[in-house]
Amino acid sequence: MCMSVPRYWRERAYRYRLVGTECLSCGRRYYPPRRVCPVCHSRNLVEVKLPERGVVVTYTIIRSPPRGYEKYAPYAIAVVELLDGTKVLAQLTDIDLSEVEIGMEVEAVFRKIREDGEEGIIEYGVKFRPRLTGH
Amino acid sequence: MREVAIVGIGYTKIGELWERSLRDLFVEASLRALEDAGIDDVDALYVGNMMSGTLQEQEHLGALLAGYIGHPGIAAAKIEAACASGGVSLHQAYMAVASGLYDVVLAGGVEKMTDRLTPDVTFSLAMADDMEYTIYSGVTFVGLNALVYRLYMHKYGVKQEDIANFAVLMHENAVNTPHARFRRRVKLEDVLRSPLIADPIHLLECAPISDGAAVLVLTTLERAKKLTDTPIVIRASAVATDYLSIYERDDMLSLRATVLASRKAYKQAKLEPKDINVLEVHDAFTILGILALEDLGFAERGRGAVLVKEGEIAPDGRVPTNTMGGLKARGHPVGATGIYQAIDAILQLRGDAGKNQVPNAENALLQSTGGVGGTVAIHILSRAD
């Protein structure tokens, strides 16, 4: 069963560009975006572009992948803490799996996530790669 | 609120039960529970189940199964809270009897996992987390637990062998459990040599994909005393939730829902951790067993594995835990697991636990966890005498 195109399309800004929300009352940031702040209960939240650099807080190597991701396995998944303190979860890319470690600096890149079967669309999103030196 | 008791238990063996369907399993467990209770008047049915929609392409289990257990017409519904579906089903049944609305309620759970191939089951299990933002990355449910596991070792300097040891003890306990999936011992080196599923989690640290169904009969304590000499009282029933995905939480090494629900439950029951003689924790992965010991108040943060190492959680230890083998070795038919936990504890409280009997077991605490702690249901059961 393929996903309908609108289901994918309506999330594109958040998935492609790392857009979250920020609570204007208490300053907390959220990814994925939320309409209500669970900490101070304010509804005064606005969309915010999150930083594209961060560090690996923890990671795993997926060796038994779910349906649709078989051809990419094994691959690394990490929780990344961005420079503003917001945490996100994403695949790591452009890296030798034996070199992944807690504390490594990474940066966001736009990549293909998977294909939704033979008839569905090609899905994209953010992955993280080791931070390139000198920029 | 009325006092509520459990007067009947019924369950199937847990395993790869190729010859039986979801409804076959649930009917068998229900009929056994009603026979055990010695009654057949039922007012309502709750069916804990997570994945019938994706694995069997069958929803609407409440009405379907009410009819097949011989009670079309009763109030019935499926209860879904991922792997905590069973625990939450029991919570709903408890509220229904306690409130005075219904007098006899079945709290059940069923999962038929072997109708699909592993990649499909893996995908369905991942639905316990945020599909739009978390699972989209390609992480699996095992992978999410692996992220917690690695961070735990990193922060506390705990060795993997001390965490993996939990699985060895579960297999040991299951040897004497007739309904368990794996009635055989494993050595620590077997666990650590088994294939990696999501580093650092090895295959033998994961609860197995299994089929099974389990059912409890609940009624008022007043009626229970007329039906049986060994009614089991529900002293506390509490549910709490947390952010669905671990990276949304400030602290990824404590399941806040376990802390919240257990503190509510201890207060309801007027008991403390030291009063608990039998503990059932949701060890879907070894690391979750360790975290549970900490979050429930039996060990300091970062010290859960010490209890395991020192033999404190064995049936003859200070905190006998998962005495029938837990999710790891008794088995984890997801939506039924919370009910199997209750049954394993009730066998202890009734004095029917066989070789793994804990002497003078009076109070049992059950922790049923959905996702990586997105939902936690806690129950405290006690002998009525």
Tell me if residue B332 is catalytic.
yes
Number of domains in chain A: 1
Q: What percent of chain B has pLDDT over 90?
A: 98
Chain A residues in contact with B244 by the CB 8 A cut-off are none
- Average model confidence (pLDDT) for chain B? 97
With respect to residue A35, please indicate whether it lies within any of the assigned structural domains: yes
What are the residue ranges spanned by the domains of chain B?
Answer: 4-117+210-232, 140-205+235-383
Low-confidence ranges of chain A (pLDDT < 70): 1, 133-135
Tell me how far the alpha carbon of residue B374 is from its chain's centroid: 14
Q: What is the pTM (predicted TM-score) of this model? A: 0.97
Residue A126: phi, psi to the nearest 5? -100, 130
- Is A123 a domain residue? yes
Reported as a single tens digit per residue, the pLDDT across B228-277 is: 999 999 999 999 999 999 999 999 999 999 999 999 999 999 999 999 99
CATH topology of domain B4-117+210-232: Peroxisomal Thiolase; Chain A, domain 1 (3.40.47)
Please check whether residue A61 lies inside any domain of the structure: yes
Q: Does residue A30 lie in a domain region?
A: yes
* Residues in B touching A58 (Cβ below 8 Å): 147-148, 150-151, 154, 252
Of B118, B139, B196, the CB nearest to A77: B139
Range of the domain at A84: 5-130
Predicted confidence at residue A68, as pLDDT, reads 82
- Determine which of B115-124, B158-167, B287-296 has the lowest per-residue pLDDT on average: B115-124
Nearest Cα residue to B179 out of B311, B32, B278 = B32
For residue B206, indicate whether it is catalytic.
Answer: no
Q: Say yes or no for a CB contact (<8 Å) between B126 and A66.
A: yes
- Cβ–Cβ below 8 Å for B122 and A67: yes
**B128–A contact, CB cutoff 8 A:** no
What single string gives the DSSP state of each residue in chain A? -PPPHHHHHTTHHHHHH-EEEEETTT--EESS--SS-TTT----EEEEEPPSEEEEEEEEEESSPPTT-GGG-SEEEEEEEETTS-EEEEEB-SS-GGG--TT-EEEEEEEEEEE-TTTSPEEEEEEEEEPPTT-
In CATH, which superfamily holds the domain spanning B140-205+235-383? Thiolase/Chalcone synthase (3.40.47.10)
pLDDT number for residue A119: 84
User: Are the folds of B4-117+210-232 and B140-205+235-383 the same?
Assistant: yes
* Average pLDDT score over residue span B100-111: 98
Instruction: Give residues with Cβ within 8 angstroms of A37, minimum separation 6.
Output: A23, A25, A26, A28, A30, A43, A44, A45
